[in-house]
Amino acid sequence: MKNKALYTLLIILVQSLHTTALNAQRSTPTEQINPYRIVERCTLHGISLLNNLDTYLSGYNYTGAGYYFNHENLRNAHTGNYNWKYLTTFSATLGYTKQQSNSQFTLLASRYWSGYHPFRVSNRLQLWTGAQIQLAGGALYVPANGNNMVSVKMRTALAATGIAIYRLPVRQHTIDLRYRIDIPLAGIMFSPEFGQSYYEIFGLGNTHGVIKFAHPLNSPSWQHTLSADIPIGNNTLRIAYTANLYQSKVNSLRTHIYNHSFAIGFAKTIYKIKRKDSMKAYSPLL
């Protein structure tokens, strides 16, 4: 009887361990992943080639170069079937330009909030279409100017945006090629009148006409980015070219800021959990 009871206890223990192992397999983190918590982050550093014209400061073009920074977060939007993508982008440029013997310092920054609906065209190609909210600002500073030394740039806009993603097989790897275009459609912008000083605006309160409605006729601008994600071991190297082409003609002032940036960095996909920790997961791109 004692051996039979011991044998029965051993059978129960083995079955209990087997059930526990099966439950552990069924509750792996991969199967419990919440798509809303998957985030792809990428930080890029590079150089910018600048061509600036602002008739508030000068009637000449200033050309030069500067430092470029870009950071973006891509995740699935919190909808019922996770059929939308949400992209936030922050970029900044600090540049130095010249026109003959005169120098100009450039500081630009922008923040974009974008929402996309993806469409799968084939196993290798996806097209995303969506809308975007843009917030951009900065300043151009010419120390040699006597009165008007600084031109401040501030604008916000609602834009149309789209992304094309193509998976290019190269030997045993896949390179993700991505093209994104952003076109502002309507918004508001700040611009002084020709010859109006900032002291008149902010000191004396002469603000009439400095806030203008921006649209493609008086501010034809766009931005497009071409990037390649190249797998290197367990990392993903991203190489990107961005052309941010801003133009405006309001209050008898003409402005263009052409910013061509070449940048490189690493993209990584993380899974955000409640302890504010992260673990590797799959990419929400494709």
In the chain the domains, ranked by start, together with CATH numbers, are 43-280 (2.40.128.100)
Joined together, the tokens standing for residue 160 give 């149309």
16-32 average pLDDT score: 44
Beta bridge partners of 42: 72, 267
The residues, any chain, with a CB within 8 Å of residue 190's CB and separated by 6 or more, are 152, 153, 154, 155, 210, 211, 212
Confidence check: pLDDT of 4 > 90:
no
Rounded distance between C-alpha atoms, residue 125 and residue 95, angstroms: 36
| pLDDT at site 8 | 58
Q: How many distinct helices (H) and strands (E) make up the chain?
A: 2, 12
Query: What is the arithmetic mean of pLDDT over 175-200?
Result: 94
Q: Give tens-digit pLDDT for 55-105.
A: 999 989 999 999 999 999 999 887 766 688 999 999 999 999 999 889 999
Its sign, for the CA torsion 196, 199, 200, 205, is positive
Q: Report pTM.
A: 0.81
Which residues are bridge partners to 176 per DSSP? 167, 229
CA 235, 236, 240, 244 torsion: positive or negative? Answer: negative
Instruction: Taking the CA atoms of 192, 196, 197 and 198 in sequence, report the sign of the dihedral they define.
Output: negative
Which residues pair with residue 8 across a beta bridge? none
DSSP 79-121: SSS---EEEEEEEEEEEEEEETTEEEEEEEEEEEEEEEEEEE-
If 0-12 CB within 10 Å is exposed, 13-18 middle and 19+ buried, where does residue 256 land?
middle
Asked if residue 276 has pLDDT above 80, the reply is: no
Higher pLDDT, 34 or 242: 242
What's the CA gap between 132 and 112, in Å, rounded?
A: 7
CB atoms within 10 A of CB 232: 9
Residue 270 is predicted with a pLDDT of 77
Q: Tell the residue number behind the tokens 């006729």, with chain if given.
A: 217
Position 71 scores a pLDDT of 96
Determine how β-strand 211-214 pairs with β-strand 173-190.
Answer: antiparallel
| Whether pLDDT at 17 is above 90 | no
Q: Which pLDDT belongs to residue 77? A: 81
